[in-house]
Amino acid sequence: MASVEGRVVSENHPGSAPRANRGLTANVIQVALTGGASGIGLEAAKLLSERGAILSIADVNQQGLDDALKAIKGNKHIATAVDVRDGAQVKDWIGKTVQQFGRLDSGVNLAGVARMQAPITEGTDDDWDFMMGVNGKGVFHCMREQLKHMKNGGSIVNAASIQGMVGCANTSIYAASKSVVISLTKSVAREVGPRNIRVNCIAPGVVKTPLLDPFEKGGQKVPTTMQCFDRQAHPIEIARVIAFLVSDEASYITGSNYPVDGGTTA
């Protein structure tokens, strides 16, 4: 028992702080993670599993999911092919996840797409629908279903981008889709705070993932000169921040957007 502003509360009271340094290891947590077949999602899945989480990973790439399961520590994880643009698929995936795991403690929504850089005058309706569908609507679908199964306590981490924070020429549609993620994150954090659920997002800079492959193969150089570090991030450097935000070590952090950008927004 502890005294807080003249009140005596239990250490396990939803409004009290968890014990320091619990991390992910004090209790096994059940995590639903999208984008788990490659890049940041795969590194986050591997790191979370190493720290004791049991994972339900989703991606549109079935072969990538099969390979991911082999790379992730442990044998209790499950993988499901899901197109996050389809609300019915997401609902079915989360429902089956909870049915198998018994509960859901955390959502890590990392599925994302980008297309070649171009001025807005060359953008197409399909570009808009595709990027908004995966990056924006996909996060909406995932949070909607995840939060239905988080009754009292939990955490969600969404993938935004520094391009959702500042103006970015020739990537206006992608930037707009990531600003949607930031706004959704902040608004939903206020909705579910009374249920002791935390909602945050990360805003990576330039990260060496398959998302960059079409740009580099198309001869478009992805600049790093605006960063304090003149290099691309490795996905594990982003995954470490995700693992922190999922853990109880981030127990008083919600509604926040974390730039992990090598100082681009400094």
Distance of CA 33 to the CA centre of its chain: 7
Can you give the residue ranges of every domain in the chain? 28-260
Tokens 């000169």 locate to: 225
In DSSP terms, 197 is beta-bridged to 154
Residue range 121-139, pLDDT digits in tens:
999 999 999 999 999 999 9
d(CA 184, CA 32): 18
What's 28-260's CATH class?
A: alpha beta
Provide the pLDDT for residue 219: 58
Residue 124 · residue 175 · CB < 8 Å: no
- Identify the band that residue 20 occupies on the pLDDT scale cut at 50, 70 and 90: very low
**For this structure, is 174 an active site residue?**
yes
Nearest 5°: the CA angle 105, 106, 111 is: 150
Helix (H) or strand (E) holding 204: strand 197-204
Q: Among residues 46, 137, 178, 258, which one is catalytic?
A: 178
217 is catalytic: no
Q: Which of 70, 73, 137, 174 is catalytic?
A: 174
3-state secondary structure of 28: coil
Please determine, for residue 147, whether its predicted confidence score (pLDDT) is greater than 50. Answer: yes
- Residue range 53-77: mean pLDDT, rounded: 96
Whether the per-residue pLDDT at 112 is higher than 90: the answer is: yes
d(CA 137, CA 215): 24
